[in-house]
Amino acid sequence: MKDNKTTLILISFFIALGIGFVWYSLNLINEKKVVTLPVLGNPGHRVGSFSFINQDGKTITEKDVQGKIYVVEYFFATCRGICPKMNENMAKVYQAFRGSKEVMILSHTVDPKKDTVQALKAYSLKFDADPRQWMFLTGDKKALYDMARYSYLVTATDDTAVVDIQSDFIHTQHWVLVDGDGYLRGMYDGTNMGEVNKLIGDIKILLQEKHKTTKD
């Protein structure tokens, strides 16, 4: 009887030891699973320098977004097609991070002739947009379009093509997520709520990535 009791104690001990080892191993694996986002574009591709005007008439450059995580879109205020839906969805992104000093939104007009500072200000008020966080940008048309094509990669283009800037027009539903170092980390369909929710989740991933880097 004594031997049987000792055997049961030993069996129970080793079972508990085995369970503990499995639990420890699984936790170790989960700790090593770090969710990361891809980097888009050719190796080393980063957002270039820029200078545009926001809805308050303030000049905004790449220095104003340095170290920030930000979302980029292209739209125009008089659009009756995809733009209203896009900006209704962008408002959800804005509300998810409203007041954050680490997350910004840059909404660039593709029709700077009509989208003056005053027009963009009126448009921004529809979404109660804080100009320090959600910026509606206008400026030189070629500069706006060059940023779309060559920095944010929201529309494919042939670099050798000669484009008449007066007749050129970009109309895209794609948004781009940019990290604090100017790398493109995601592209999303701004008319698709599933992708909008994914964007919100990806911003949270970048925030975790940023905070981890800061701690390290």
Q: Where are the beta strands (DSSP E) in 10-148?
A: 51-53, 59-61, 69-75, 103-109, 134-137
Strands 134-137 and 103-109: parallel
Number of helical (H) and strand (E) elements in the chain, helices listed first? 5, 7
> By the 8 A CB rule, do 180 and 33 touch?
no
Residue range 45-56: mean pLDDT, rounded: 98
Residue 88, C-beta contacts closer than 8 angstroms, at least 6 positions apart: none
User: Which amino acid, one-letter code, is at 41?
Assistant: G
Measure the CA angle with vertex 94, ends 128 and 147; round to 5°. Answer: 100
Q: What is the pLDDT of residues 74-132, one digit of tens each?
A: 999 999 899 999 999 999 999 999 999 999 999 999 999 999 999 999 999 999 999 99
Q: What is the pLDDT of residues 190-216, one digit of tens each?
A: 999 999 999 999 999 999 988 876 665
pTM, two decimals, is 0.80
Residues in the chain: 216
